[in-house]
Structure 1
Amino acid sequence: MKTKLSDCMRPLLGALLLGTTLLGTAHAEVRPLDRVVAIVDNDVVMQSQLNHRLQEVQQTIAKRGAALPPEHVLSQQVLERLIIENIQLQIGDRSGIRITDEELNQALATIAQRNGMSLEQFRAALARDGLSFADAREQVRREMVISRVRQRRVAERIQVTEQEVQNFLASDLGRMQLSEEFRLANILIPVPESASPENLQAAARQADELYQQLRQGADFAQLAIARSASETALEGGDMGWRKAAQLPPPFDAMVGALQPGEVTEPMRTPGGFIILKLLDKRGGGTQVRDEVHVRHILIKPSEIRSEAEAQRLAERLYERIQSGEDFGELAKSFSEDPGSALNGGDLNWIDPNALVPEFREVMSRTASGELSRPFKSPYGWHVLQVLGRRATDSSAQFREQQALNILRNRKYDEELQAWLRQIRDEAYVEIKL
């Protein structure tokens, strides 16, 4: 069964920012203008944005076969999501994050390719699903900005030590992560950082009430949409696939004991009370992984080097390598990746899944021994060279890389939720709805 293209795009794309219209009649009758439903720092959320996103969410929920919560409840959830997105977009604007036409075109071409289409077929499919190509570009642009904001503000601050990696590999969870993977959904009942005992008791009662409803057969996705404060609430709480080791204790052990369809009891976390549902699980055995031996030169924009200047420098370095200059020596002199510059830009053998999508995609298109043209990632401008490819099993090095990824993802999830709460608390938000 084919999935509707708009459904494929929704996990990747954000909401459409629709313009306002003024319609008149021959008798100069004026219909109401689009109105502001929330003031968010220096920007606003419009009723048209809320209506459009609300319609998308309602269609998604209906396709899952779940019952819709009351419209005013769903509307509040959707508006909160738009407010959080708006704050992040403003941070991106203040930080000078810009998405070029070339990057947008490449992203859309990638989406089309993943759906087995050419770009023209992709345009036609969008039209059949009621989406214009211009709207799709805007959705992609917003999501790319938000992704880069999170990369700069959250991901780059996360550090995992070698001792943490070794401790993890020696743990029961470290051994478990190679065998099983879980698809989870969650419901979060939030608790303020400075919550009073009364606030805590009220949140605990609310979480227990939801847990009892779930035990009696209530629909988890519907309750998540209506009651959860999690970032995945509008997706029915669906968190996707996670290794047990990515889950903070005690959920790691609790989820491992569940069968698909079962839920955990409410558990206290720094953000509030969480209930998890196990949607599915999979696992297994030794897996062969492709690894790539790659080296690169990274040029970062900065306060004294503009985006355009960083791009021009990367292009000059590319031309010098093409003219015969030594890649390693240029990397030592110019690369701003502290982890590889002193080694001539060498990243050694690496699992492509450990790399950001922009780097991974260019690397996959570059033949062994070949040099890529300069390209941009959230870190800056790169020139890379693929030195070789191989297939490998779960060797010690591979296990360490997997452990590093899992620990980083765990810290990222926790840090992201804390950061989103922080920017929401610090922003000026006035609800007009």
Structure 2
Amino acid sequence: MAGFVLAALFNLSSVNAEDLDFIVAIVENDVVLNSELQTETAAIVKKLKANKVDLPPDNILKGQVLERIIVDKLQRHLAKTSGINVTNEMLQAAVKEIAQRNNMNAEQFKQQLQSQKINYKDFEENIRHEIAINQVRAHEIGGQIKVSDSEVEHALETQGEVTLDKSQYHLGHILIAIPEAASSEVIQKAKRRAEEVVAKLRDKADFNKTAVETSDDAQALQGGDLGWRTLAQMPTIFVDVAAKMAAGDISEPIRSPSGFHIIKLHEFKGLSKVQSHILTKTNVRHILIKTNELVDDNEAKRRLMAIKTRITDGDDFAALARAQSDDKGSALKGGGLDWVVPGAMVPEFEKAMDNLKVNELSNPVQTQFGWHLIQVLERKQQDDTSEFKKNQVRDAIRERKIEEETELWLRRLRDEAYVEIFKDRL
């Protein structure tokens, strides 16, 4: 209803074509301004040129960019109406993670953005929106995705070779979408369009440019690039087709509930299958001192160094853990955390633990929980191949389901929303 109200308020006759800014689309109770479209289009053009992708006609490119903005606004709107709140702590944690992935601290990363003339506040706002959208998707899709033990066993029995094959396929993808409950006429029209695209591509048309021009998929503005994937990471309907393709091949249209898919195998890397997986397990114990209003970082470290000295001089670690550790659960076991596997502990703890020799005491180690004194009691190796393969298959099935459901969900979100596009203003 809000969309119709906005349409009445912002009818085209009320907008002077010579105005500096004007509305190009209405999305539920929001609008897309021309300035917004121009800014996003300029950013996309810059990326496409950097990737040496030939640009499609301006009106087609703007139409694709506008669709991306519309879907983005619909997700933001859903996040807002769902009561999703991205706190400053969540935002800063995300920025820190991005900086670390680029081998920088937060301040260095900020300076790097500024050197590239990227407004830091705008960057933070974009990250805030991305977090909100990811939370919406997790709520709408992630919670619905289940992978049963029987699915894993069935995949191992019927597709074991495919599932465990680590060969990498660099795929391009074009989607000719069809709406839900489409008539046979609409389906046939989409099929003919997909066949025309295949013929065009096989006649040496540039795939990336064609994807930007014609694809209804989220990767359209990246030239349809799906990146490198194993067979297990692909949508199920692509697997048999991709496995038989040679580099440069274009597939026939592949039907799915979303529409007709066309894939191109850009490159292929053959890699060996998983043969065995040996897991290192560590028997570890610790003493934790938490910080608070009365105990700052320096005091926590001082206490742990004093405890370390006592242990080195012969005092019992377990007794000191029971008496002084703030981790009450492990304190009852003399600080024991039992046998832990890789990934079970927070990164700072695991890194310090892995660097210790058996029976060696660490210096104080800081994590989100406070300060730790760590001691490794024992290490052992375990053949974990069977469980490792099952987990790989489970993860692959889950990722595949999430991708397929996300595609359908975004299409539904777009189809069911009130959207009005003023095409003569693009």
TM-score with structure 2 length normalisation? 0.72
What SS does the aligned partner of 2:263 have?
Answer: strand
**Residue 51 of structure 1 aligns with which residue?**
38
Distance 1:324 1:204, change over 3 A: closer
Deviation at 1:147, TM superposition (A): 0.9
**Residue 246 of structure 2 aligns with which residue?**
259
Deviation at 1:177, TM superposition (A): 3.1
Whether the 8 Å CA contact 1:189–1:207 is kept in 2: the answer is yes
- Identical-pair percentage: 34
Separation (CA, whole Å) in 2 of partners of 1:389 and 1:63: 49
**Residue 81 of structure 1 aligns with which residue?**
68
Counterpart check, 1:363 vs 2:346:
yes
Distance 1:128 1:422, change over 3 A: same
Separation (CA, whole Å) in 1 of partners of 2:382 and 2:392: 13
Separation (CA, whole Å) in 1 of partners of 2:379 and 2:48: 43
Separation (CA, whole Å) in 2 of partners of 1:324 and 1:248: 44
**Residue 228 of structure 1 aligns with which residue?**
215
Counterpart amino acid of 2:329?
D
What SS does the aligned partner of 2:217 have?
Answer: coil
Specify every segment of 5 or more residues in structure 1 that has no aligned partner in the other structure, as ranges. 1-30, 295-320, 330-345, 353-359, 376-384
Whether the 8 Å CA contact 1:366–1:386 is kept in 2: the answer is no
Q: Residues 38-75 of structure 1, C-alpha deviation per residue, up to 9 Å, x if partnerless?
A: 22222222222211110111111111112100111111
Deviation at 1:139, TM superposition (A): 1.4
Q: Aligned match of 1:323 in 323, 326, 329?
A: 326
Whether the 8 Å CA contact 2:279–2:382 is kept in 1: the answer is yes
Deviation at 1:324, TM superposition (A): 4.5
Q: Aligned match of 2:409 in 419, 426, 429?
A: 419
Whether the 8 Å CA contact 1:184–1:277 is kept in 2: the answer is yes
Distance 1:125 1:166, change over 3 A: same
1:18-167 alignment runs, 5 A limit: 32-167=19-154
Separation (CA, whole Å) in 2 of partners of 1:407 and 1:180: 17
**Residue 362 of structure 2 aligns with which residue?**
none
What SS does the aligned partner of 2:260 have?
Answer: strand
**Residue 410 of structure 1 aligns with which residue?**
400
Distance 1:324 1:115, change over 3 A: closer
What SS does the aligned partner of 2:328 have?
Answer: coil
Counterpart amino acid of 1:323?
D
**Residue 210 of structure 1 aligns with which residue?**
197
Deviation at 1:265, TM superposition (A): 1.2
Whether the 8 Å CA contact 2:156–2:163 is kept in 1: the answer is no
Distance 1:242 1:393, change over 3 A: farther
**Residue 272 of structure 2 aligns with which residue?**
284
Separation (CA, whole Å) in 2 of partners of 1:74 and 1:391: 55
**Residue 379 of structure 1 aligns with which residue?**
none
Distance 1:325 1:259, change over 3 A: same
What SS does the aligned partner of 1:171 have?
Answer: helix
What SS does the aligned partner of 2:218 have?
Answer: coil
Q: Residues 314-345 of structure 1, C-alpha deviation per residue, up to 9 Å, x if partnerless?
A: xxxxxxx953522699xxxxxxxxxxxxxxxx
What SS does the aligned partner of 1:79 have?
Answer: helix
Q: Bigger CA drift: 402-411 or 276-285?
A: 276-285
Whether the 8 Å CA contact 2:163–2:393 is kept in 1: the answer is no
What SS does the aligned partner of 1:186 have?
Answer: strand
Q: Residues 346-387 of structure 1, C-alpha deviation per residue, up to 9 Å, x if partnerless?
A: 9x97775xxxxxxx9x82223349895369xxxxxxxxx999
Whether the 8 Å CA contact 1:186–1:277 is kept in 2: the answer is yes
Deviation at 1:239, TM superposition (A): 1.5
Counterpart amino acid of 1:326?
G
Structure having the higher Rg: 2
Aligned residue pairs, count: 346
What SS does the aligned partner of 2:181 have?
Answer: coil
What SS does the aligned partner of 1:281 have?
Answer: strand
Q: Bigger CA drift: 158-167 or 254-263?
A: 254-263
Counterpart amino acid of 1:136?
F
Q: Aligned match of 1:373 in 368, 372, 397?
A: 368
1:3-22 alignment runs, 5 A limit: none
What SS does the aligned partner of 1:97 have?
Answer: coil
1:174-189 alignment runs, 5 A limit: 174-189=161-176
Whether the 8 Å CA contact 2:61–2:212 is kept in 1: the answer is yes
Specify every segment of 5 or more residues in structure 2 that has no aligned partner in the other structure, as ranges. 1-17, 284-323, 355-364
Counterpart amino acid of 1:215?
R
Distance 1:408 1:184, change over 3 A: same
Please, what is the CA RMSD of the aligned residues? 3.4
**Residue 311 of structure 2 aligns with which residue?**
none
Whether the 8 Å CA contact 2:53–2:223 is kept in 1: the answer is no
Distance 1:66 1:290, change over 3 A: farther
What SS does the aligned partner of 1:277 have?
Answer: strand
**Residue 400 of structure 1 aligns with which residue?**
390
Deviation at 1:248, TM superposition (A): 4.2
